A and B are shown apart, each in its own frame.
Chain A
Amino acid sequence: MIRLVPRTEASAFWQIATPVMAVAATMLAGGLLFAIMGYDPVSAIRTIFWDPLFGPAAGYSRPQLLVKAAPLILIASGLAVGFRAGIWNIGAEGQYIIGAITGAAVALAAYPASEMWIFPAMVIAGALGGWAWGMIPALLRNWFGASEILVSLMLVYVAQRIAAWMAFGPMKNPEGFGMPGSRNLQQYPAASNPELIAGTGAHWGVVAAVITVLAIWFLMSRHIRGFHIRAAGTAPRAARFAGVKPQTLVAFCLGLSGALAGMAGLFEVAGPAGQITDKVGVGYGFTAIIVAFLGRLHPVGILLAGLLLALTYIGGELAQLTLNLPAATVQVFQGMLLFFLLGFDLLTRYRITRRVTA
């Protein structure tokens, strides 16, 4: 008979080993899935995980890695702080969309001015928009005890519809020949978020992601606020005893993750996406949840996990082009990855021992 013995301390080895195992298991299960669907599993896996970096078209796809990873890392870093405290913001997608809209609004209002302040003001407006959208579930939870999980998620659907309304209504490009969607910010130098170093894909969002990772690491391991967040997540009563006000923590975590998601949205709309459309939200907010868990809610882990999931996005697009794999493949991969990760996580918290039953 197999039994589980709780570990007194989470195993450091398994902390690192389980995400790696989860990735491996996902590749195996994914390969199986491809085989069932009638594709060659080996070439499919290679196309998704190897070719974007080292394949024949790597010159085009490699810069995409940072472009895709930056929003994931920005959002996931903020989410992880809340998840550590047991505060479940799963509406980052909505905060991302609102941040993109408020940020773009500054640019569209300033058009065609070319002052230096425009882009920084957009970043601030994007962060503020995401922050405000995140504060709605925070305040509703603090004042009325409404579940932040459900409220933040409902607000994603609301944000999507606001984006659609903007694209078809108030923000529609007056010179767009009636096509839905705002002006393209890539063609508006004062407001655009360009590639900073040619061929790397690095834009201001990448810079912000790196700074965020460092800042979150500092917060969580060196600052008493980070200590209180960790305490509140594992022992809420002990945190209150230490002097933590739960309401403050809820507002801090949802506000922070909202602001980071909003910023990510702005960097995207001012850069790679270029304009506000009804499809502004592309799912980064949801994928970032997986990134946060895969990175073990640790900033450095999130950095690596963000790069890996960015790889699956690019690989998925490549597989769509070359192997004709459906676009949803990546989504299934990401879901499986989270399942396996949560399953293997058992090893960090429990020792498995075998016992001979009497």
Chain B
Amino acid sequence: MTDAAVFQARGIGKSYPGVRANDDVSFTVAPGEIHALLGENGAGKSTLVKMIYGLVRPDEGDMVLNGQPHQPADPRAARAAGVAMVFQHFSLFDALTVAENIALGMENPPPRRELSARIAQVSQDFGLPLNPARRVVTLSAGERQRVEIIRCLLQNPRLLIMDEPTSVLTPQEAELLFATLRKLAGHGTAILYISHKLEEIRTHCDRATILRHGRVVDSCDPREHSARTLAAMMVGGEMRPIDRSGRQAGEVLLQVKGLSLPAPTAEGTALKSVALTLRAGEILGIGGVAGNGQDELLAALSGETRSAPGSILLEGADMSRLGPEARRTAGLLAAPEDRLGHAAVPDFSLTDNTLLTAGARKQLVRKGLIDRSAARAFAEAVIRAFDVRTPGPGTAAKALSGGNLQKFVIGREVMQAPRVLVVNQPTWGVDAGAAAAVRQSLLDLAGQGAGVIVISQDLDEILELSDRFCALNEGRLSAPVPTDGLTLDQIGLMLGGAHGMEVAHL
């Protein structure tokens, strides 16, 4: 059994200052196996695969690849040994062409024309259509992933690592991806599949190694367990159920009509006559694959971008020409997706970060003068009410964990008692405990009569929170449908099905 393994990790350990990222991690991947690495954010999955790919060196333990000791000094050595990796972020060069991107991922790329031919061949074999001459900046998220996958396939890897590959795909696109992976596994390639999505792991993976706080808690056949048991193993203990009670849709609070905006940048998305109505006490979920206009919609609602007069009305008052400060004063608040650098200033203390949005509503700034003690008191109040784990309000935002900073950011807005709160990806990259707290606070806010818009790529989250659902697809917002009885398949179709994949599947 062990002799036949493609990859084996034995007692891997890795420490960063203050964090034990991996501790005594051992597992084995067999040829032709799709092996899931399952765990919460911060469980140590990324550190582990970075070690396999030569980006980080382990402090203890050893690895074996194809029966040889595996100690890659850098990713090139790892690639030479037969490891390939598809990253979640940061691995494509926007301004370069598909062919150039692929050449950069190879040790000895063939001449240009030959490389293009081989790209065409592989994309044909695996049903992944791609034009080698196109610049990556013009590709959709799904197409970008194809570039990464083909870059890996051209090297005939023995072990293929996929880091959360479906987070940028619609359910239909994800199905196609798994078909490709299955075909590849059929050729004997071992696949290490990293995810925290339980359902896809249960349906598609042969084995799952579950990590918690950097340690292996179990290794099992995921098909034999329910999603609930896997979740319990992943977070250690049962999840508190969400309380959706006590809400009733009231009068119309926010009305958006004919909201059209050009794309802010070359990579951005234009908004095309977006319309929606939000009532008091209601949560409206807006789903969509990344890059379909989520950031642009949030910016239009928060006031970072202005729109045509009359396109955004809060309780009948026109907000569309007002800036963020004036909208906050009127009661329209927002929390963007990117915690570090957008919703909060990383280098500033939590006290200073309250001044970013709460200056007017909480009287922290009067006639331009900052009331520092009031700001500190408000920061302390948010920390207490939202159980933010931090030494104190003087701590810099970047020193907090993702979950704690997110609780602070959401708490800062919720505690200003908004009439309408718009949040984008409220639990992205947040551990399960913090995610539950954030979701509950949004439900409670709606329960108190505010209107809430949740923009999210996590469909489970949307189904859990929202009363009505709209899909955002290439800057267009669909008509809302009630979430009761809505299935993932129906949502997938609303999200635009499988972009550009039809050709491959005919």
The interface of chain A, by Cβ under 8 A from chain B, is: 5, 8-10, 222-225, 227, 230-231, 234-235, 237-243, 245, 353, 357-358
Taking CB atoms, residues of chain B closer than 8 Å to A241 are 302, 304, 324, 334, 336, 342-343, 356-357
- Whole-angstrom CA separation of A242 from B303 in the bound complex: 9
> Of residues 341 to 387 in B, which have CB atoms within 8 Å of A's CB atoms?
341-348, 352, 355-357, 359, 365, 368-370
Having A224-B368, A234-B345, one finds 5 other A-B pairs with CB under 8 Å, namely A222-B370, A241-B304, A241-B342, A241-B356, A353-B17
Q: Which residues of A contact B303 (CB under 8 A)?
A: 243
Query: Provided the pairs A223-B369, A242-B357 are in contact, do residues A8 and B399 lie with their beta carbons within 8 angstroms?
Result: yes
Contacts A238-B345, A242-B324; is A9 near B396 (CB within 8 Å)? yes
Q: Which residues of A contact B17 (CB under 8 A)?
A: 5, 353
Report yes or no: A358 in contact with B347, Cβ–Cβ below 8 A. Answer: no
Can you list the 6 inter-chain pairs with the closest CB atoms, starting with the nearest? A8-B399, A243-B325, A243-B324, A235-B345, A242-B356, A237-B342
B338 located at the interface, meaning its Cβ lies under 8 Å from any Cβ of chain A in the complex: yes
Judging by beta carbons under 8 Å apart, are B324 and A224 in contact?
A: no
Shortest beta-carbon distance from A145 to chain B in Å: 12
Q: Is residue B57 within 8 Å, beta carbon to beta carbon, of the partner chain?
A: yes
* Contact of A224 with B336 in the complex, beta carbons under 8 Å: no
* B-chain residues with CB within 8 Å of residue A223 when the two chains form the complex: 368-370
B304 to chain A, nearest CB (A): 5
Cβ-defined contact, B341 with A235, below 8 A = yes
Known contacts A227-B370, A231-B348: A9-B359 contact under CB 8 Å: no
Pull 22 A–B residue pairs with CB atoms less than 8 Å apart, ordered by A.
A8-B395, A9-B396, A224-B359, A224-B369, A224-B370, A225-B368, A230-B348, A235-B345, A237-B338, A237-B342, A238-B342, A240-B304, A240-B324, A241-B342, A241-B343, A241-B357, A242-B355, A243-B303, A243-B323, A243-B325, A353-B17, A358-B57
Q: Please give the distance in Å from A6's CB to the nearest CB on chain B.
A: 9
Q: Kindly state whether residue B489 has any CB partner on chain A within 8 Å.
A: no
Say whether B60 faces chain A, with CB atoms less than 8 Å apart: yes
In the assembled complex, B502 has its CB within 8 A of some CB on chain A: no
B398 at the interface (CB under 8 A from A): yes
CB distance from B131 to the nearest CB of A (A): 31
Q: Which of A230, A237, A239 has the most CB of B within 10 A?
A: A237
The A contact surface, by secondary structure, is helix
Contacts of B251 in A (CB 8 A): none
Contact of A227 with B352 at beta-carbon distance under 8 Å, contacts A234-B347, A241-B304, A241-B324 already known: yes
A239 partner residues in chain B, CB cutoff 8 A: 345
Instruction: Give bound CA distance, A223 to B58, whole Å.
Output: 48
In the complex, A234 Cα to B397 Cα: how many Å? 13
B59 located at the interface, meaning its Cβ lies under 8 Å from any Cβ of chain A in the complex: yes
Chain A residue with the shortest CB-CB distance to B58: A358
Q: Return B266 CB to nearest CB of chain A, in Å.
A: 14
Listed residue (A9, A225, A239) with the most chain B CB atoms within 10 angstroms of its CB: A9
Complex contact B341–A224 (CB within 8 A): no
A residues in contact with B357, CB < 8 Å: 241-242
- Contact partners of A222 in chain B: CB under 8 A: 369-370
Most buried by B among A224, A239, A241, A357: A241
Contact status A235-B346, CB under 8 Å: yes
With a CB–CB cut-off of 8 A, which chain B residues contact A245? 323
Chain A residues, CB < 8 A from B323: 243, 245
Which single residue of chain B is at the shortest CB-CB distance from A219?
A: B368
Most chain-A CB neighbours within 10 Å: which of B17, B334, B356, B398?
Answer: B356
Q: Tell me the complex Cα distance, A40–B130, Å.
A: 70
Chain A: which residue is nearest B355 at the CB level?
A: A227
Helix, strand, loop or mixed for chain B's interface? loop
CB distance from A135 to the nearest CB of B (A): 23
Question: What is the minimal beta-carbon distance from B84 to any residue of chain A, in angstroms?
Answer: 25
Do the beta carbons of B59 and A358 come within 8 Å of each other? yes
Residues of B within 8 A of A231 (CB): 345, 348, 356
Docked-complex contact A234 and B346, CB < 8 angstroms: yes
| Cβ-closest chain A residue relative to B347 | A234
Instruction: Find the B residue at minimum CB distance from A3.
Output: B17
In the assembled complex, the CB of B281 is this many whole angstroms from the nearest CB of chain A, namely 26
Which residues of A are found within 8 Å of B304, using beta-carbon distances?
240-241
Cβ–Cβ < 8 Å partners of B370 in chain A: 222-224, 227
In the complex, what distance in Å separates the CA atom of A20 from the CA atom of B180? 62
Chain A residue at minimal CB-CB distance from B356:
A242
Chain B residues, Cβ within 8 Å of A10: 347
**Cα-based distance from A358 to B348 in the complex (angstroms):** 36
Partner of B343, one of A230, A238, A353: A238
Contacts of B356 in A (CB 8 A): 231, 238, 241-242
A43 to B297 Cα, complex, angstroms: 67
Give the distance in Å from the alpha carbon of A241 to the alpha carbon of B352 in the complex. Answer: 14
Question: Which residues from B are CB-within-8-Å of A234?
Answer: 345-348
Residues of A within 8 A of B398 (CB): 8
Q: Which residue of B lies closest to A351 (CB)?
A: B17
In angstroms, how far is the closest chain B Cβ from the Cβ of A232? 9
**A234 smallest CB distance to B (angstroms):** 5
CA distance A9 to B396 in the complex (A): 6
| Contacting pair A238 B341 (CB below 8 A) | yes
Q: How far is the CB of A247 from chain B (nearest CB, A)?
A: 12
Residues of B within 8 A of A230 (CB): 348
Do A238 and B324 touch across chains, with their CB atoms under 8 A apart? no
Q: In the bound complex, what is the Cα–Cα distance between A231 and B58 (angstroms)? A: 38
Residues of B within 8 A of A242 (CB): 324-325, 355-357
Contact digits for B316-334, partner A, Cβ 8 Å, 1 yes 0 no: 0000000111001000001
Residues of B within 8 A of A9 (CB): 347, 395-396, 399
Which residues from chain B contact A8 at a C-beta distance below 8 Å? 395-396, 398-399
Q: Is the CB of A358 within 8 A of B345?
A: no
> What chain B residues lie within 8 Å of A5 (beta carbons)?
17
Q: Is the CB of B344 within 8 A of A224?
A: no
Bound-state CA distance A238–B369 (Å) is 20
Q: How far is the CA of A168 from the CA of B343 in the complex (A)?
A: 56
- With contacts A234-B346, A235-B345 taken as known, whether A224 is within 8 angstroms of B396 at the C-beta atoms is no
Q: How far is the CB of B396 from chain A (nearest CB, A)?
A: 5
Inter-chain CA distance A222–B352, complex, in Å, is 12
* B58 partner residues in chain A, CB cutoff 8 A: 358
CA distance A152 to B370 in the complex (A): 33
Closest residue of chain A to B365, judged by CB? A224
- Residue-by-residue, is B179-198 near A (CB-CB < 8 Å gives 1, otherwise 0)? 00000000000000000000
Interface residues in B122-179 by Cβ distance below 8 A to A read none
**B346, closest chain A residue (CB):** A235
Q: List chain B residues, Cβ under 8 A from A358.
A: 57-60
Give the CA-CA distance A222 to B355 in the complex, in Å: 12
Closest to A357 in B: B57
Q: Which A residue's beta carbon lies closest to that of B338? A: A237
Known contacts A8-B396, A358-B57: A237-B355 contact under CB 8 Å: no
**Chain B residues with Cβ under 8 A from A243's Cβ?**
303, 323-325, 328
A5 → chain B, closest Cβ, in Å?
6
Residues of A contacting B334 in the complex (Cβ-Cβ under 8 angstroms): 241
The interface residues of chain B lying within 8 Å CB-to-CB of A227 are 352, 355, 370
- In the bound complex, what is the Cα–Cα distance between A230 and B336 (angstroms)? 20
Chain B residues with CB under 8 Å of A237's CB are 338, 341-342
Q: How far is the CB of A86 from chain B (nearest CB, A)?
A: 13
Q: Give B301 Cβ to nearest chain A Cβ, in Å.
A: 12
Shortest CB-to-CB span from B312 to chain A, Å, is 16
Closest Cβ–Cβ distance, residue B16 to chain A (whole Å): 9
**Chain A positions within 8 Å of B343 at CB level:** 238, 241
Please indicate the chain B residues that have their CB under 8 angstroms from the CB of A353 in the complex: 17
> Closest Cβ of chain A: how far from B366's Cβ, in Å?
10
Contact B347 A224 (CB under 8 A): no
CB of B355 within 8 A of CB of A235, answer no
Roughly how many angstroms separate A133 CA and B117 CA in the complex, as a whole number? 57
Query: Cα distance A50–B342 when bound, in Å?
Result: 49
